[in-house]
Every structure is written in C-alpha cells, then in structure tokens.
Amino acid sequence: MKNKTNQSNGKVLFSQYNRGDAIKKLSGLSREDVLYELKVSKLKGRGGAGFPTSTKWMLTAAAVSQEKYLICNADEGEPGTFKDRVLLLEHSELVFDGMVVGAYTIGAKKGFVYLRGEYEYMLSSLEDFLETMRNDNLLGESICGIKGFDFDIEIRLGSGAYVCGEETALIESLEGHRGEARNRPPFPVSKGYKGKPTTVNNVETFASVVHIVMKGGEWFQKHGTDKSTGSKLFSVSGDCERPGVYELPWGTKISELLEIIGAKNTKAVQVGGASGICVNKSQFERTLAYEDCSTGGSIMVFNETRNMLHVLKNFMEFFVEESCGQCTPCRIGNTKLLEGVEMLESDEYTFAYINKLKELGKTMQIASKCGLGQSSPNSFLSILENFKDEIFNGRGGKYGK
C-alpha cells in the first residue's frame, strides 16, 4: 500500500539503503562501536523530546539485567503527524533493521512495535515483512551468524489513547494496564517493561540509526545544525498546495518550508502538533531545530481565513479528552483552559481571569506528571500571546478589561 501524500526524499533518511545491510555489518562491529558512532552522530530522539539516543542506549546497555527490552514507539498520535506511517509502509527495512541494531547494542532479546490502533491496516504487511526477515536470518537466533545474538520482534496494537505515546504509559499499556504515565525516576532505561531495562525509541530514530551504522556518525552530523544533526521528516498539513511528508535538514527556516510546500497568505504555523507552539508571521524566520522550534514532525499551516480561537479550541478539546486523568494539573487544568477559550469565544471573559489561566498554564507545564500535561498548555499560551491582536482586538469582553 502506497501513500498518496506528497513526499520529498532528502539526503539522509531516504538515501540509498539495502535491506539487511546494517544488520550484516554488525558482525564486524562491537556494541561499543555502534555506541561510538551514535555518540559522534549526535542523534537525538525523533519523537519530539530530543533525548540523545547514544545516552539512552548506553544506559540500557550498561544496566545489569539478564532481560532487556527494545520498544519501537509507533503510536503516532500527535495531531498532524503521519511521517511514521510513511516510514513503516514504504521503508519498513529502515525501521526494523534499526531495531535489530538497537537490540544488538543494548542486549535485548525481545522487541516490540507499539503500533497505533488506527494503523491496524498495515499490520499484516508488517508481519509479512518480519517473516521475511526471519527467513533471511535477519531476525531469530544467531542473527547473521553472530553467535548468541538472538532477537525477535512482536507487533502490538494500541487502542487509541494519545497518552500511550508517552513512553512509560506505552509500557503500562504494553503490560496490559490502563495507559497512565509512571513516576520518573526510575526511567525505562533502568526499569521499563516488566521492570526490566528498556529502550523506547521513535520509528524515525531507528530509521536514522541504520544510516549512521552504514555511513558513520561523522557523515550524519554534517547534516543539520550543530545541536540538531541529521535530517527530519516533517508531516505538513493545512493551508498549502503540497501537503505531505518532507525530509529536510534540521535548521530549515519556517519560511523556507512554507515556500517548498506552496503555502500562501500564511497567518500561523503550528509547530509540533497540538502540544507544540503556534508562531505568527513575525517568527517565520525561526528555524526548525531542537534549539529553536522543536518538533516531532508535525507542521500545520493556517492561512488568513482561519480563526485562531477556533484552532485553539480544537486543540484544547483534544487535551481535555486525551489527558489520562491521573494527575490534577493536567486533568482539571486542561478543562479550565478550554473553559477559558469558550469564554473568549462568547465574549464572557475578563482579562484578569485570562491572566489567571495563563499562570495556570505555566503551572501545568512544570507540575504535571508527564509530558502530556507539561506540553498541553503550549498552544494555549502561544496562541494567546502570538495572536492577541486577533483574539482581543476590540473585544474587552462583556465585563470590561
């Protein structure tokens, strides 16, 4: 099944790669060699948080345990992202080979792909792909003749909870429990799936690893910026002529991206999905990079015809529904922020109360238990700040200012 969206193939992720090559290369590499190349590459997690992959793998590799697990986070649930879908459907070899490299490096015998429930349609083709790998000894026992290197992959389906993209909630779900984030520490690298050291990485991270193994960390880090190396897949949607998945080097300016995708009369760009930030025209020269506008890949473009309050309401409704409901700031906080948006909509607000909500948003960012609650106020805060003229212009609310 092919994707119908537009695609641009960049120089890193979509560069030449033959199925199984990275795995075959492992016989000549020690796990330290892989970790070294990763370290040199400065690869950071592609899910959005940007944790250095070499550190995560090193910690899992160093953890003392007979049992370790590797998990591929394919619960692509952030509104506006669909790049993992492209990778899984059209470049499965990058993802699965990357997982095998990961298993070799950290010493895992079992790996999981936690596949977004809505991607059930690709399950059988992915299973077929894994079967082919088993037949070719790219999975199973003594992979590629490397003695003692046994590893297999199981695909599990999620059930539609956004929070299960958070790695500890994902692990809970994988264990058969209610999807709720765990307390950290401990981090999964020391106590993850079934309490054993576990590495959880995004689909795209594994795909990047394959190229680093083949072409070296040095080569990889030449792409992108100093702090954001390599390239990134962007899922572009919204008001533009060519929505789709684009591989671009980190450091690309928002204005450059808008040019490429044919966006006209753009008023706002939501970078990083519902949990990301919303920038206005004055910020279009900012760059897409961990150090500036960080994103897991979602880019939503809004043109002049869009009502930003409506956009914001949509995001907040999403969070009210998707909060797992365990911690107070996220569970009730998001409801309060949504109520605030509704007050703005109906003109029944006071500036004093909106300011209270902004302060509440800041508390949510630092006091929530997991990334969901910590990032859910981002759009509220950034839209109210960056589009205050539109939202408040001439509207003091029924109760004055």
- Can you give the binding site for other proteins, defined by CB under 8 A? 161, 163, 168, 172, 175-178, 180-183, 185-186, 191, 194-195, 319-329, 331-336, 339, 356, 359-360, 363, 365-369, 374
Smallest gap from residue 145 Cβ to other proteins (A): 37
Distances (CA, A) of 361 to 79, 199, 276, 286, 354: 20, 31, 14, 24, 10
Q: Is the CB of 40 or the CB of 49 nearer to other proteins?
A: 49
Smallest gap from residue 220 Cβ to other proteins (A): 27
Other C-beta atoms within 10 Å of 22: how many? 25
Q: Is the CB of 88 or the CB of 372 nearer to other proteins?
A: 372
How many angstroms separate the CA atoms of 132 and 150, rounded?
16
- CB under 8 A, 24+ apart: contacts of 349-354: 349/397, 349/398, 349/399, 350/397, 350/399, 350/400, 350/401, 351/396, 351/397, 351/401, 354/384
**Local structure of 222: helix, strand or coil:** coil
Q: Is the CB of 178 or the CB of 264 nearer to other proteins?
A: 178
Smallest gap from residue 321 Cβ to other proteins (A): 5
How many angstroms separate the CA atoms of 106 and 169, rounded?
22
Smallest gap from residue 189 Cβ to other proteins (A): 13
How many angstroms separate the CA atoms of 5 and 274, rounded?
21
Q: Which amino acid is at 60?
A: T
Smallest gap from residue 312 Cβ to other proteins (A): 17
Sheet with 277-280, strands from edge to edge, namely 6-8, 244-249, 231-238, 298-303, 266-271, 277-280
How many angstroms separate the CA atoms of 110 and 151, rounded?
5
CB 266 within 8 A of CB 258: yes
Q: Is the CB of 318 or the CB of 387 nearer to other proteins?
A: 318
Q: Is the CB of 218 or the CB of 291 nearer to other proteins?
A: 291
Smallest gap from residue 178 Cβ to other proteins (A): 7
How many angstroms separate the CA atoms of 212 and 201, rounded?
15
Residues 6+ away with beta carbon under 8 Å from 76: 82, 83, 84, 85, 116, 119, 165, 203
Smallest gap from residue 333 Cβ to other proteins (A): 6
Q: Is the CB of 256 or the CB of 317 nearer to other proteins?
A: 317
Smallest gap from residue 27 Cβ to other proteins (A): 38
Smallest gap from residue 227 Cβ to other proteins (A): 17
Q: Is the CB of 259 or the CB of 291 nearer to other proteins?
A: 291
Q: Is the CB of 100 or the CB of 384 nearer to other proteins?
A: 384
Distances (CA, A) of 367 to 47, 294, 371, 375: 22, 21, 10, 11
Tokens of 121: 């349609």
Q: Is the CB of 244 or the CB of 361 nearer to other proteins?
A: 361
